[in-house]
């Protein structure tokens, strides 16, 4: 941007006003108003000549899109903490910084993960359907028996901010907490959460509940497949609030129908959206919600503010407040 014109940015969906107001102050905004993501050809057309792009996790940012944007693109700001929708190497090759929204969605996401854990353990969706369908005839000694949470062991896979927030909740509910992660947490984090690092296989074999909090990368794609399910404790419960492709859904379906797993509770699936006729959706012991972990008013305002601040810094050529580490450009 050599001249004094206002930067031009593309925002690929209506985000909370808290963020849009910041962007409008700093730039001319092309806002995609559709309820669904912009179709690919529309996205490629609109991004052409932009100085900045504020993208959602539903937009694929890759070589094709960056080429369509042209050489003026100075920043990609993701309205999410996960960045698996973005080809980071492609951004690095072009020297384009990428921003995300860490921190502000930690508690909301851990809340949903724990809510899913509780709901699956105590069969809340089945109980709700039972009442709605007028099948409730009496108090029953054997009616809708679930799993105890207090005293159970929770295994957390991926022990970053959200995994640790999940551990704090679990501790409050009297659970024993194990974790597996690429890096060992600090002694302070271990002390605050009471969590113990163990090998992945030990976590699977020892946990009554397993909650996934890793990012999606080549080593975590399909991590929960037949082998992992075979290693899990019989009757365990799986919770996933990370990314759908970390779980092999065919293997999960088999584990849920054979009874080797008691239940699963998913905020994320592969693909998204998952259609209502998908085999997992029909299972009584599979609770699925539509990727809403960060969906609270305050959290989405905070995400919008972060995403906007990253975008504005980027178009001004300033360091992003929340930069995503990029691979070395080769
Ligand atoms: C939501 O899934 C996010 O990555 O922010």
Q: Is the CB of 104 under 6 A from ligand 1?
A: no
pLDDT digits (tens, 9 = 90+) for 26-55: 999 999 999 999 999 999 999 999 999 999
- Band of residue 5 on the pLDDT scale cut at 50, 70, 90: confident
Q: Is the CB of 83 under 6 A from ligand 1?
A: no
Percent over 70 (pLDDT), the chain = 98
Active site residues: 243, 272, 291
Q: Is the CB of 81 under 6 A from ligand 1?
A: yes
No. of helices (H) and no. of strands (E), the chain: 12, 12
In this model, does residue 328 exceed pLDDT 70?
A: yes
Helix, strand or coil, per DSSP, at residue 156? strand
Q: 56: closest CA among 23, 22, 97, 12?
A: 12
Cβ neighbors of 307 (< 8 A, separation 6 or more) are 15, 19, 54, 77, 78, 79, 99, 101
In this model, does residue 2 exceed pLDDT 60?
A: no
pLDDT digits (tens, 9 = 90+) for 50-108: 999 999 999 999 999 999 999 999 999 999 999 999 999 999 999 999 999 999 999 99
Cβ neighbors of 235 (< 8 A, separation 6 or more) are 147, 208, 259, 260, 261, 262
In this model, does residue 329 exceed pLDDT 90?
A: no
């Amino acid at each position: 941007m050599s001249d004094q014109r206002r930067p031009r940015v593309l925002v690929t969906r209506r985000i909370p006003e808290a963020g849009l107001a910041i962007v409008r102050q700093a730039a001319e905004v092309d806002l995609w108003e559709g309820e669904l993501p912009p179709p690919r050809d529309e996205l490629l057309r609109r991004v052409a000549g932009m100085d900045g792009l504020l993208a959602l996790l539903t937009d694929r940012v890759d070589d094709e899109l960056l080429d369509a944007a042209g050489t003026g693109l100075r920043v990609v700001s993701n309205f999410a903490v996960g960045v698996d929708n973005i080809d980071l190497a492609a951004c690095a090759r072009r020297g384009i910084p990428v921003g995300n929204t860490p921190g502000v969605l930690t508690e909301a996401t851990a809340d949903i993960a724990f809510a899913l854990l509780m709901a699956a353990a105590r069969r809340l969706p089945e109980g709700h359907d039972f009442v709605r369908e007028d099948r409730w005839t009496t108090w029953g000694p054997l009616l809708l028996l679930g799993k105890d949470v207090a005293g159970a062991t929770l295994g957390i896979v991926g022990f970053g901010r959200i995994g640790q927030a999940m551990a704090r909740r679990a501790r409050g509910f009297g659970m024993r907490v194990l974790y597996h992660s690429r890096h060992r947490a600090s002694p302070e984090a271990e002390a605050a959460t009471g969590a113990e690092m163990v090998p992945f296989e030990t976590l699977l074999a020892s946990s009554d509940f397993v909650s996934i909090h890793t990012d999606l990368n080549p080593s975590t794609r399909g991590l929960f497949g037949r082998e992992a399910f075979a290693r899990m404790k019989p009757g365990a419960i799986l919770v996933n609030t990370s990314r759908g492709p970390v779980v092999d859904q065919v293997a999960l379906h088999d584990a849920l129908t054979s009874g080797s797993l008691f239940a699963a509770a998913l905020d994320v699936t592969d693909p998204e959206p998952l259609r209502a006729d998908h085999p997992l959706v029909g299972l009584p012991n599979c609770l699925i919600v539509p990727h809403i972990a960060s969906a609270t008013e305050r959290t989405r305002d905070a995400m919008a503010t972060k995403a906007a601040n990253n975008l504005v810094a980027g178009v001004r050529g300033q360091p992003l407040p929340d930069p995503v580490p990029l691979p070395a450009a080769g």
